[in-house]
Amino acid sequence: MKGIFQSALFWTAILLNVFGILVGAYVYADQLAAAPLPLILFVPDCPLYVFLTLLIIFRVIRNDIFSFIVSIGMVKYGLWTVFALFFHYGYYFSPDMLSISVIFVIGHIGMVLEGLAILPKKRLGAMALMLAVGWFLLSDFSDYFLGTVPTLPPGGLETVRNLTFASSILLPLFLFSLKEKIRDLPVVRQINWLLSRV
């Protein structure tokens, strides 16, 4: 019975991930169509990292550095989206947008927790940390200086940009330093148990 319950929860989580990827592809469709080919990878942040997480869950890619970078991406862009929604509260939580924004907040909090659950068990070296920081700073440069940042309501872009760049340094350091403690949190252990069904 426990196995059936875990299996049902696992496939529900997978279907929610797939749904999130499809919604993200729809949200980013116009921006993807307009982006120069070399920058396309930097456009669909959330759906891209959710897709990469599925590759980790189904063990298509088994590489601890890859898992570490994808974990950071899940946490970073999940938090970024929740922050951006509340930063532009008047727009996203207006009566017309309220229901979809609440769903987006819940979904992106789930994205953060899922990202924490895929943190690799093995100890990583300083090279993995530097690679992760470099990758996310490159992504930020593309977003805020080459125009691949998601479309946001006007106002406050400098604040969002500064916090985004700071998160590209601080989040990898935080996850790198506290990986074992994070993986031991009850909610993270539960999600890890759920995702280990494969």
Is the CA virtual torsion 60, 62, 65, 71 positive or negative? positive
Reduce the DSSP state of residue 150 to 3 states and report it.
Answer: coil
Tokens of 194: 């759920």
Give the count of alpha carbons within 13 A of 40, CB side only.
Answer: 9
Query: 88: part of which helix (H) or strand (E)?
Result: none
pLDDT level of residue 34 (50, 70, 90 thresholds): very high
Closest CA to 51 of 114, 120, 9, 109: 114
| Structural domains counted in the chain | 1
> By residue range, what is the domain housing residue 8?
2-195
What is the arithmetic mean of pLDDT over 144-171?
A: 95
Is residue 1 very low, low, confident or very high in pLDDT (cuts 50, 70, 90)?
Answer: low
Whether residue 2 is predicted with pLDDT greater than 80 in this model: the reply is: no
Q: What is the mean predicted confidence (pLDDT) over 37-56?
A: 96
pLDDT in tens, 59-98: 999 999 999 999 999 999 999 999 999 999 999 999 999 9
> Which pLDDT does position 4 carry in this prediction?
72
